[in-house]
Structure 1
Amino acid sequence: MRMLASEAARAAGGRLVGPDVEVSGISIDSRTVAPGELFVPVVAERDGHDFIDDALAAGAAAYLTSEAPQGATAVVVDDNAAALAELGRHARSRFEGPVVGITGSVGKTSVKDMAAAAIGADRPTHASPMSFNNELGVPLTLANCPEDAEAVVVEMGARGKGHIAWLCSLARPTVGVVTSVGAAHTELFGTVEAVAEAKGELVESLDPSGVAVLNADQPLVTAMADRTEADVLTFGRAGGEVRATDVRLDDGLRPRFRLETPSGQTAVALAVCGEHMVDNALAAAAASLAVGVGVDEIAAGLGSAQLSPWRMEVTTLASGAVLINDAYNANPMSMAAALRSLAAVDRPRRVAVLGEMAELGDRTAAEHAAIGALAQELGIEVIPVATAEFGPSPVADDAAAVTALGPVDAETAVLVKASRVAGLETVAEALSKS
């Protein structure tokens, strides 16, 4: 979203030093800053102020700083992170179209990608890149909305009570989607019920003119209908106003189904893999209906939707083996879904290379053991990496996991999955090059 540096200074509660130039967006990474953008240094493990010169050399038109200006055009503020949030809030105030907010224990990034594609089949749509769903990612998404966008899709994550409510104060969603509630981040929240309490802050933020899109197959989610004055539209496999019938998978694990909605029915053929993606597609379809997209456009958008990296990427290797790279993140719900997808692959040998599921607190041992038991029930061999919680003896690292796999041939299917901290995408990368 374009604005003058002076407008950015007013919005951020700062002061302008230097020429009043136009900025065409915001970046917090000096390595990827585009010409004309405003560079916002993040102060974390490394101090982004150290990279202001690099950002200017890459073409940044101006920079924000809580330190003394270093020349060129600067917006001087007291707190960089707070200023970034205010820039996102200001950008939202300039946007007049619908804003779809998405949260949930699993599926929020995939639903975001699918909703952006489905709504995008009807009108220009802007969405959060990758998993930009926190106090940095949400204001960046809002501030980088293109001038021609007519809808925005924003992913929202929660790491504590009040977090989503705060993100909603910036994004002011008109449609709120809750995908699911499960044992994710229970180390931080304590109980699944506390997770539901936090996720429900999204629907509480909606105006009466808005729409809450809720998963009819999950009681903790459907109960959120009592927490909003907005209209409610439900989705689900077992129930819901937006539902799927005649679900089947093709040989590449891509779902096909009949989409049934209050506005009509149509056939949908997804380009993404895994039967659990049907639930994500239903959530995206319901969000699209809520902003006025027709069922035919929804089907077309869902059929072309591509997911963010390392999410159910199914490829056939040169050896003929099937590789499922779902290494971006993991919790008990998503891990179980990925294992069931692996079990659906027509290969005699099915192996899951699994890393830890992080932030489960007191539930860690029980949840990992349950996943180990599910894998055994499904006839899946497990190679745990750096954790003994799944049951089998673990290997030490990624390289050892590749060695432990042994020959990966046309009779083999491999799933790679773990929480983000494990970084198991390196295993998938190594296999893809073998």
Structure 2
Amino acid sequence: MFSFSEIANIVTGSLLQGDIAAIPTGFSHDSRSLAPGEVFIALRGEQTDGHHYLSEAFARGAIGAIISDRAAIPTEGRNIILIDNPLQGLHSLARQWRKRFSSPIIGVAGSCGKTTTKEMIAHLLRPHHHTFVSPGNYNTEYGLPLALLKMDEDAEVGIFELGEERVGDIALLVDILAPTIGVVTMIGRAHLEFLQNSEKVATEIWRMVNALPADGYAILNADSSLLEMLRRRSTVNEISFGIKKGDLRASVTNRACGLHLELTEKNEQIKLISPLFGKHNSYNILAAVAVARLLNIPWKEIQQGVSSFMPYDHRLCLHPSPLGYILDDSYNANPDSTAAALRVLIELDLPVKYRAFIFGDMLELGKETPKFHHHIMQLAIKLGVDFIFTIGDNACIAAAKLRSGALSQQIIISEDKELLQRRVEERLPPGENLVLIKGSRAMGLEVLADRWRT
């Protein structure tokens, strides 16, 4: 890691007080999770200002701080570096740290499936490579540089997630990360509040592909029509994957124990069995497998890795429950992932009497939010879902428009989670149901999922 003298030089700042030769163990922007020996970076956000937490950071063992407000320096402060913009300083530090690595750096982007794909790539590579994977969803202008700075110098492969909400997000993240392999999971209807439509989402994500070096590789979803148009104009090295077509393609079967995939690669047939559910997860598996093959992981070990990779909490996990079974996909939601989860709800071969859907709002969809919620309600009815329980303004408005005649008993609207829980338990007989729980992260539906797990 850098010394304080090096840090001050990289960020073009002034070391006001401290030991220029001291070397921190890392960096943090959150005083609550800061570890002793780390440098606290006082970032200003929309709702808070890191300068307010300098005393707390030093009390927790911070070895120094990067700040922009000299007046905020606490009496116990030491190794203080003053700069104009701490966020730009964080980016500069991450860029400089990235220069120490000649090993493969993998960036994962897409409308959904990023975290699952990122973690599965790591799972497949770990037996062969000292692998670093960015924690959680550290995929923003704050999280990605902090994740990169956590990567130890002995790592042979680094795997990072890149998030997109606004035009320019991917360009900034790619400039910091400089990936050598870029994975695009899929392009769908997500983050439309600022990006407006799927075409603009595709254009934004494609910035990662355009930034790859001449010897880099793009791992691309061949079934995406939006990506296909961009691929035609590109000269980047690529490996494509898909169900309908691609260099690595598969036929997929949904079973009660998970996904069965039969792959074709250069006329070779390979069978994979995964505990994950849903056609959309087959794309995540194929993307991870494509990376593993690019890095020369043998098929036998890929098969073992795919079969042993378990879904992360609240990402389409099947659990026994007093209700029967719950299909917990409460981590987040957009129209495409919700439609995919609904199909899993219907297709899973389980001994249940009723299939129910708890539908929470899908957020960040922009002006077409009402239309997307209406379409999901219509899809649930068309697929034959027995009961639909809605919560959140948009889901409930869509439900109210369809709740008439026979559907009045099928669609149940609730104003809060406590009322929703009571109505679900009153309406569904114990032990006879498969219940899908799906909504955006801010809806907090994982609370209900956790209550109903056994």
- Determine if the TM-score, normalized by the shorter chain, exceeds 0.5: yes
Partner of 1:361: 366
How many Å apart are 1:393 and its aligned residue?
5.3
1:431 matched to 2:452:
yes
Partner of 1:121: 127
How many Å apart are 1:38 and its aligned residue?
1.9
Partner of 1:50: 52
**1:406 alignment partner, SS class:** helix
Partner of 1:21: 22
Range 337-346 or range 261-270, more displaced: 261-270
Q: Give, in whole Å, the separation in 2 of the partners of 1:281 and 1:147.
A: 28
Partner of 2:88: 82
Q: Give, in whole Å, the separation in 2 of the partners of 1:261 and 1:137.
A: 36
User: Letter of the aligned partner of 1:11 in structure 2?
Assistant: I
Cα distance 1:235–1:313, how it changes in 2: closer, same or farther (>3 A)?
same
CA contact (8 A) 1:321 1:413 kept: yes
What is the percent sequence identity of the aligned residues?
Answer: 33
1:192 matched to 2:198:
yes
Question: What whole-Å deviation, never above 9, does each CA across 1:104-131 have from its counterpart, x for those lacking one?
Answer: 1121111111112122232011122121
Cα distance 1:262–1:8, how it changes in 2: closer, same or farther (>3 A)?
farther
Partner of 2:8: 9
Q: Give, in whole Å, the separation in 2 of the partners of 1:262 and 1:162.
A: 38
Q: Give, in whole Å, the separation in 1 of the partners of 2:43 and 2:234.
A: 35
User: Letter of the aligned partner of 2:329 in structure 1?
Assistant: D
Residues 311-326 of structure 1 aligned to structure 2 (within 5 Å): 311-317=315-321, 319=322, 321-326=324-329
1:401 matched to 2:420:
yes
Q: Give, in whole Å, the separation in 2 of the partners of 1:369 and 1:88.
A: 43
Q: Give, in whole Å, the separation in 1 of the partners of 2:363 and 2:452.
A: 24
Cα distance 1:62–1:205, how it changes in 2: closer, same or farther (>3 A)?
same
Cα distance 1:405–1:288, how it changes in 2: closer, same or farther (>3 A)?
same
CA contact (8 A) 1:398 1:427 kept: yes
Q: Give, in whole Å, the separation in 1 of the partners of 2:360 and 2:450.
A: 15
Q: Give, in whole Å, the separation in 1 of the partners of 2:443 and 2:323.
A: 27
CA contact (8 A) 1:100 1:174 kept: yes
How many Å apart are 1:430 and its aligned residue?
2.6
User: Letter of the aligned partner of 2:319 in structure 1?
Assistant: T
Q: Give, in whole Å, the separation in 1 of the partners of 2:197 and 2:133.
A: 30
Question: What whole-Å deviation, never above 9, does each CA across 1:303-338 have from its counterpart, x for those lacking one?
Answer: 333444421122112x26211221111111000111
Q: Give, in whole Å, the separation in 2 of the partners of 1:98 and 1:229.
A: 20
**Equivalent residue for 2:435, pick from 406, 411, 414:** 414
User: Letter of the aligned partner of 1:304 in structure 2?
Assistant: S
How many Å apart are 1:367 and its aligned residue?
1.3
How many Å apart are 1:397 and its aligned residue?
1.1
Structure-1-length-normalised TM-score: 0.93
Range 133-142 or range 23-32, more displaced: 23-32
User: Letter of the aligned partner of 2:447 in structure 1?
Assistant: T
CA contact (8 A) 2:182 2:217 kept: yes
Q: Give, in whole Å, the separation in 2 of the partners of 1:222 and 1:292.
A: 26
User: Letter of the aligned partner of 1:329 in structure 2?
Assistant: N
Query: What stretches of structure 1 of length at least 5 have no aligned partner?
Result: none
Structure-2-length-normalised TM-score: 0.89
**2:144 alignment partner, SS class:** helix
Cα distance 1:169–1:352, how it changes in 2: closer, same or farther (>3 A)?
same
CA contact (8 A) 2:360 2:391 kept: yes
Q: Give, in whole Å, the separation in 2 of the partners of 1:289 and 1:103.
A: 19
User: Letter of the aligned partner of 1:59 in structure 2?
Assistant: G
Q: Give, in whole Å, the separation in 1 of the partners of 2:180 and 2:10.
A: 22
Structure label with greater radius of gyration: 2
Cα distance 1:13–1:278, how it changes in 2: closer, same or farther (>3 A)?
same
Cα distance 1:273–1:42, how it changes in 2: closer, same or farther (>3 A)?
farther
Cα distance 1:228–1:57, how it changes in 2: closer, same or farther (>3 A)?
farther
Partner of 1:279: 283
How many Å apart are 1:384 and its aligned residue?
0.7
Query: What stretches of structure 2 of length at least 5 have no aligned partner?
Result: 400-410
Residues 69-148 of structure 1 aligned to structure 2 (within 5 Å): 69-70=73-74, 71-148=77-154
Partner of 2:330: 327
User: Letter of the aligned partner of 1:280 in structure 2?
Assistant: N
Aligned residues: 429
Cα distance 1:24–1:293, how it changes in 2: closer, same or farther (>3 A)?
farther
Q: Give, in whole Å, the separation in 1 of the partners of 2:116 and 2:380.
A: 24
Q: Give, in whole Å, the separation in 2 of the partners of 1:31 and 1:288.
A: 36
User: Letter of the aligned partner of 2:422 in structure 1?
Assistant: T
CA contact (8 A) 1:212 1:230 kept: yes
Partner of 2:221: 215
Question: What whole-Å deviation, never above 9, does each CA across 1:332-358 have from its counterpart, x for those lacking one?
Answer: 100011111111232221111111111
CA contact (8 A) 1:402 1:430 kept: no
